[in-house]
Amino acid sequence: MERIAKKYKESWFGVNKIYFLIVILLLSAIKSGLFLSGFIIPLSFYIRGIIKAKVPLEPNGNFHCQTFKYKEVGNTVLKLDVWYPNQIKRSYPLIFFAHGGGWISGFRNQPNNVSWCKFLASKGFAVASIDYRLAMRNSMENILTDYTDALEFVKNNAEKLRIKKDDIVLMGLSAGGHLALLYASYHTFINDETRMKGIKGVIVYYSPSNLRDIFGKEQKSLSARFATMATFKGMPGQKPGLYYYYSPIEWISERMVPTLVVHGRKDVVVPYTSSIKLVSKLKSKNIPCRFLLHKDGGHGFETNLKDFRTIKILEDTVRFMKKFVS
């Protein structure tokens, strides 16, 4: 019975659960122009669980956090939170953190992100957790512009924020990791030293490196496909140029910064093979990199599992950071 239950859970129907019904409703809404708006519905079931999760090594105690407005676009105010260690210092190395949510949902201070910020702050880092515009009403170019502007804000205000602008690690979960990867790979590919100044490494958790992998045979989650289609306004066959241009793996060069890639083998949202291909490309360019795989991990495993392997991955993540920043 246990084996049957496990098989069902990993099956297409088990992965998508009630999403099957939602798909029918969404398809029926295409002609009425509601298709894109409906993308948020299936992903919300996943988000509902992930925002309540915490990393198993979240420390006790109070951590100082300051909120800053880094940009205003029309009526939209974009903010970032900077979390600080309890030890008072003149300045700290910075983890520039971007949340996940399939590019169409999520926010900087949802519980799982706050948990990550507290954990990293307890290890001696300042952490800037950012908001960015979401893809339901914006393009990927808008999102990347926000990402760039937030990064420029912390660099330009380094003294005020008490961060070391020459000791920055880009980090992101899922879609946030995609943004970090894309920013670093693209700007190193074109050798933009100004944009990359001070960035010492990239850390990504269960992030797509080739966007076309979201539509591969190994990928079972309809919600992930819907979110990707909503973001890029079509399927890979309809928008091949966009899917190529915004896939970080296409921009990996010999100038890419050191990269840590983390994934769960049982991820049904972003297939772990996407990370395997990324690491292979990094190694082919002789980029210092490391791949941490959790054999029982799914999407967001580090906030759902509390086993030894998860804790080891978290500790190795911190070691990787400290290897490249002072």
Tell me the angle at which helices 19-29 and 222-232 cross, rounded to the nearest 10 degrees. Answer: 30
Q: Catalogue all structural domains in the chain, each as residue range(s) with its CATH number.
A: 2-324 (3.40.50.1820)
Measured CA to CA, the distance from residue 172 to residue 289 in angstroms comes to 16
pLDDT tens, residue order, the chain (326 aa): 455 445 544 544 444 454 444 544 454 454 444 444 444 444 454 555 555 678 988 887 778 999 999 999 999 999 999 999 988 889 999 999 999 999 999 999 999 999 999 999 999 999 999 999 999 899 999 999 999 999 999 999 999 999 999 999 999 999 999 999 999 999 999 999 999 999 999 999 999 999 999 998 877 788 899 999 999 999 999 999 999 999 999 999 999 999 999 999 999 999 999 999 999 999 999 999 999 999 999 999 999 999 999 999 999 999 999 999 87
pTM for the model stands at: 0.86
Measured CA to CA, the distance from residue 101 to residue 212 in angstroms comes to 18
Measured CA to CA, the distance from residue 247 to residue 251 in angstroms comes to 8
Q: Which amino acid is at 188?
A: T
